[in-house]
Amino acid sequence: MGVDDATLIAGKFPDADLPVYLIDSPSLFRRNGGLYQDETGKEWPDNPLRFAFLAHVGREIAMGRLGLDFKPDLVHANDWHAGLLPLYLSLEREPRPATVFTTHNMAFQGNFPADRLRQLEIPPALFCPGGVEFYGHISFLKAGLRYADRVTTVSPTYAREILTPAFGCGMEGVLTERGEDFSGILNGIDETLWNPSADPVLPRPYRETDISGKRACKAALQAEFGLNASPETPVLGFVSRLTHQKMADTVLELLPWLVDQGAQFVAVGEGDPAMEAAFEEARERFAGNIAVIVGYDEPLAHKLQAGCDILLAPARFEPCGLTQLYALRYGTLPVVRRTGGLADTVVDATATSIADRSATGFVFDDPTTEHLTDAVTRALSLYREPLIWRRLQLQAMAQDYSWTSSAMQYAALYSAASGMPIDFGVQIADRSAVQTTRQAAS
C-alpha cells in the first residue's frame, strides 16, 4: 500500500499467555498529537491509509502470508477502524477465515474522500450504494457491515434501535438487509479489576455480605473532593464524557435543583470545552456541595463509584455503557435512560420490582431535564428508606455482568460463522441463575 517502513512485532500480553502482533510504522504512527488528530486538533490527512494499513496487515496475517506459525479460523474486526478487513478478505480467491464485524457506536463511521479508492486497494466497482459508498464518501463502517459474514453490536436493545432512522445514522437499511446475520451481544466488565472487595485504591474494601466499608469510601470521597463532611447526605456521581450524547447539558441543568434537595454532586470527565467550563462554574457557585475534576483519572473513577450513593448515567443513546455496570458492582444505584445497553442492564425500582427483588436502579424515558429530575426524585426518596435502599444495593451487587455469559454467546456465534465447534472453556456453576439475572434485566 506504499508503506515501506513497516515492521511486525510479535509479543505476548504481560498478564496472559496470549500472543499480540504490533505494527511499527514510523511514517504512519510515530508522531506527536493524538490517535486521530494533530496537536492543533486537525485530523491527520492520512487517516484513511493509517487505518486501512491496519486492515491490510490483518488480511496478510489471516491468509497466512507473513510466515507466522498461525492462521486463524475466524477474524473479528471491531468498529470502523478495522472495517476494511472483512472487505479485503471477501476479495480473496483462496479459502479464507470467516469474519465477524462489531459496531460499537454507529455515530462513528470512518468516512473518507472517494479519491482514496486506489490508494486503499478498494476495487472501483465496489464504490456504489451496494458497496462502500456512503453519500459520496468511502465508509469504513459500511464496509464492515456489508462484507463481514456476521455482524454484531454491543447490546440487544441497541441492535433493535439501530435498525431505525432515529439511531441507525443512515445505515439502518444496510443492517436490515443483513437479517439474521446481525445480532446484539451485551458487553461485560472485568470483575477482577472492578471489585470493591479487592480494589487497591479504596480506603476500605467491602462486599455484599458486609457493605459497611462503603461508608468509609464515601467519607474519603467527600474529603478528597472538598465536599462538606456529611455521612447522611446523598452523594450523586457522574463519570462520563461531557458531551451531548451523555446528556451532560441536562445534568448541568439539574445541579441547582439537586443542591436545593440537600444532595452533593461529584463529576469526573472531559469533553466539550463549553461544558467543561460550565461544570467548573457550577463547582465555584456551589462550593462544598459540588465537586468537578475535568479530565479522566482511572483511580478517581474507582473512588467515585465506591464513594457515591447514586450514579447519574443518562444518555440520548448508548450502545452498551460500562459505568452503570461498574456502579452496580459497587452498590451505587444508577439512574439511566431507557436506551441501548442501559435498558438491558438496569431494572427500574417500581413497586413491583422492589417487591420481587429485581430492582437495581432508576430508569426514565425521555431525554429531558424533567424526566431526569423525576427519576432522581424517586432515587432520593428511596435513599431515605434505609432498609429498602440496602436491599436495592445488595440486589445491584448480585448481578452478573462479567464476560462469562457474553463469551458463551460469542463462542456460539463464532461456531456458526466458521462452521467449526469453538469452546472458550467457560465454566459456570449455575447457568440457570445467570439466565434468570439476564431475563430480569431485560
Confidence band of 15 (pLDDT split at 50, 70, 90): confident
* Rounded Cα distance, 141 and 148, in Å: 11
H or E element in which residue 335 lies: strand 333-337
Helix (H) or strand (E) holding 271: none
Strands (E), 2-110: 7-12, 19-24, 74-78, 98-103
Q: Which element (helix H / strand E) includes 289?
A: none
Give the three-state DSSP class for 84.
helix
The answer to whether residue 430 scores a pLDDT higher than 60 is no
Segment 334-347 shows an average pLDDT of 97
What is the set of domains in the chain, with CATH numbers? 7-184 (3.40.50.2000), 213-397 (3.40.50.2000), 404-441 (no CATH)
pLDDT at residue number 16: 82
- Residue showing cell 456504489: 128
* Digit-coded pLDDT (tens) for 245-293: 999 999 999 999 999 999 999 999 999 999 999 999 999 999 999 999 9
CB within 8 A of 405, min separation 6: which ones? 186, 188, 428, 434, 435, 438
Render pLDDT for 77-109 as a digit per residue (tens, 0 to 9).
999 999 999 999 999 999 999 999 999 999 999
Do the Cβ atoms of 150 and 100 come closer than 8 Å? yes
pLDDT at 219 over 50: yes
**Rg of the chain over CA atoms, in angstroms?**
23
What's the pLDDT tens digit per position in 22-50? 999 999 999 998 899 999 889 999 999 99
Other CB atoms within 10 A of residue 34 CB? 10
For residue 361, give the DSSP letter.
B
What is the identity of the amino acid at 224?
Answer: E
Return the amino acid letter for 413.
Answer: L
Distance CA 397, CA 330 (A): 6
pLDDT digits (tens, 9 = 90+) for 139-182: 999 999 999 999 999 999 999 999 999 999 999 999 999 999 99
DSSP code of residue 53: H
Give pLDDT tens digits for 315-335.
999 999 999 999 999 999 999
Tell me the pLDDT tens digit for each residue of 357-410. Answer: 999 999 999 999 999 999 999 999 999 999 999 999 999 999 999 998 899 999
CA 317 – CA 240 distance, rounded (Å): 14
Is residue 425 very low, low, confident or very high in pLDDT (cuts 50, 70, 90)? low
Q: What is the mean pLDDT of residues 99-126?
A: 96
- Strands (E) in 224-295, as ranges, are 235-239, 264-269, 290-294
**Contact indicator for 81, 140 with CB cutoff of 8 Å:** yes
- Rounded to 5, what percent of the chain is helix, strand, coil? 40, 15, 40
Q: What is the pLDDT of residue 217?
A: 98
